[in-house]
Amino acid sequence: MSILPKSKAKSLVQKLDYHFRVQKSDTRKSLNAFISAAGDRPGFDQEIQEAIVRHENGPRKSSLDGSLIGVKDNICTLSEPTTCASAILEQFQSPFQADVVKRLEDHGAFVTGKTNLDEFGMGSHSINSHFGPVHNPRNRYGHLRSAGGSSGGSAVAVSTQQRPIALGTDTGGSVRLPAAYNGIRGFKPSYGLLSRWGVVAYANSLDTVGLMARSDVAMYNAFRALLMAPFPKISSSPNTLVQDALRDPTVVERVAEAVVKRVAKAFSNSEYRVNLLRKFRIGVPKEYNTKEMDPSIRSVWLKGLQALQQDGHSIHSVSLPTTQIALSAYYVIAAAEASSNLAKYDGVRYGKPRELASSGLASFAETRGLFFGQEVKRRILLGSYTLSAGAIDNNFIKAQKVRRLVQSDFNKVFRRSSPLVDRQNAIANEEGVDFLLTPTATTLPPTLSSLSCKSSVDTFSDDVLTVPASLAGLPAYSIPVYCNREHNRAYPELYHIGMQVIGQYGDDMDVLCASAHFRNKITKILRESLGKRDPEDLDEHSIKNG
């Protein structure tokens, strides 16, 4: 697998030039996908020349060698500021870079450009940014639509070909939701698989580094790069995993090692890849079929399940009873952790040092009041309250209990037992399912004008289908599909949505391979309903004329 095959090595210059020209075009700039520009750091031209030589003469560092990768602006880099889309960190320059950034650079990728987001990752539509909202490139009838959030900038950068791959973070759906709204792939790995060292924390027990890409091959190459050593090695490096665990104590070494071995097998053994695409038992959670779901999304969901059934997979109804209360538990836990994590932004330890009218503790409050956005302040207040002596038992402790129930619900429906469960108590469920298939979102991308009329709490429900997998720490992949709301074949009526494939903890490689297969089957049946027209052509038409 390779994004830039050796036979096309000489085209690397054109590919890099194309991505930079696309980014600099007025149309793309107006989408506000990037906070900081790329390519102006010292030595960058020399790095490009070295990559060109490797592509022409070999050996290349990896299949990512020479690729441009965007990075969400809450992931630390040395080359550009890390602002978290907040006024309080507007000029902050990190003295180190994140583990995931270093890993990609070791593979020869150019990590350039910091993408826009909701401030500190708090939001579902990328409208809570100090640098302005991100715009979905596929606007309808002149209405600006949501790009999803909080990794909206990364999604738009990939969707509009400014970058083939981008990093995001997924706390409750922040990679999957924007991927669905922008017609690209979005992957949240198992929690604890990738190091979070160098990722600015929002909610430590939920934050997960995620990936966005336009193709399954690009997604696989990027995921492999984050886990494994560059060419010619294709096996895991124990020292690297140990180092990750020392930097980030939430890295689960034994699970990471198992995933790395499966990725290595898939890379080197074609028979193993074929075996990953056996006939599966696919679960359909009945609680996910909510009354709020747009009928056009429900229709695509049913068509997708029919397509997979025709392909020989079996479809099974399953129950996840805690789905209805998972969202409330998530926002209690996330806000509580955020209130603690953001306490250091006071203008002294981190944040803008300014001449203020007050001094001492009052100056801390003044700094935070001036430079935090409204949504961040709202969640800090909520989190502080839930951790207070009078509320912690009825709020935070109960939310943690709900989280365990959510994890238990998922463990009951999957065929394979979780590697996190005590092996003596782990029981394989032969009647269980291999994957769950659900929509990524219940609604089509809303207009920005409609969001301005909603309260912050009203937008929380946009995460209802993505939050449960986050609470359980499971791998989840949003595959791009599309729907025709008016059942009209005209171009403007097509909307991008996503179907979400959820797997058991540690089954990341299986989720990647199955998702690519499922997407091909689902897209085939949807394409037939559009008169055999290629959805990628429709995609480009909507970008140019939307």
For residue 466, pLDDT over 90 is answered with yes
Q: Which residue has the higher pLDDT, 331 or 490?
A: 331
Which is higher by pLDDT, 313 or 494?
Answer: 313
Active-site amino acid positions: 72, 150, 174
Tens digit of pLDDT for each residue in 54-102?
988 889 999 999 999 999 999 999 989 999 999 999 989 999 999 999 9
How many whole angstroms separate alpha carbon 309 and alpha carbon 153?
A: 36
Most confident segment among 249-263, 342-356, 440-454: 440-454
Which string of b and e fits 6-27 if b means at least 16 CB within 10 Å? eeebeebeebbeebbeebeeee
- Give strand pairing partners of 476: 188, 502
| Res. 423 pLDDT band, cuts 50 70 90 | low
450: CB partners within 8 A, 6+ apart: none
Residue 4 has pLDDT above 60, yes or no: no
C-beta of residue 206 within 8 angstroms of C-beta of residue 173: no
pLDDT of residue 1: 35
- In total, the chain counts a number of residues equal to 546
User: Within 13 A of 117's CA, how many CA atoms are on the CB side?
Assistant: 34
Residue carrying structure tokens 């995931």: 100
Percent of the chain with pLDDT over 90: 64
pLDDT digits (tens, 9 = 90+) for 138-172: 876 678 999 999 999 999 999 999 999 999 999 99
DSSP code per residue over 38-90: -S-STTHHHHHHHHHHHHHHS--S-TTTT-EEEEETTB--SSS---TT-GGGT
Q: Which of 296 and 530 is assigned the larger pLDDT? A: 296
- Six-digit token string for 154: 């990364």
Based on its alpha-carbon atoms, the radius of gyration of the chain, rounded to whole angstroms, reads 22
Strand order in the sheet with 314-318: 34-36, 110-115, 68-72, 165-170, 208-213, 185-188, 476-484, 494-503, 435-439, 281-285, 314-318
By C-alpha distance, which of 106, 115, 120 is closest to 165? 115
Does residue 544 register a pLDDT over 60?
Answer: no
pLDDT in tens, 166-193: 999 999 999 999 999 999 999 999 999 9
CA distances (Å), 327 to each of 191, 285, 286, 441, in order?
Answer: 18, 16, 16, 14
Q: What DSSP character marks residue 396?
A: I
Q: Are 522 and 468 in contact (CB under 8 A)?
A: no
Residue 372 — pLDDT band, cuts 50, 70, 90?
very high
Task: Identify the structural domains of the chain with CATH numbers, from first to last.
Answer: 1-37+51-283+437-546 (3.90.1300.10)
How far, in Å, CA of 199 to CA of 473, rounded?
A: 17
Local confidence band at 284 (pLDDT 50, 70, 90 cut-offs): very high
CA distance 225 to 217: 12
**Average per-residue pLDDT for the chain:** 87
Q: Identify whether the C-beta of residue 107 lies closer than 8 Å to the C-beta of residue 126.
A: no
**Using CA atoms, how far apart are residues 133 and 15, in angstroms rounded to an integer?**
28
Per-residue model confidence (pLDDT) at position 120: 98
Q: How many CB atoms lie within 10 A of CB 396?
A: 21
pLDDT tens digit sequence for 197-251: 999 999 999 999 999 999 999 999 999 999 886 755 444 454 566 567 668 888 8
Predicted confidence (pLDDT) at residue 44 exceeds the cutoff of 70: yes
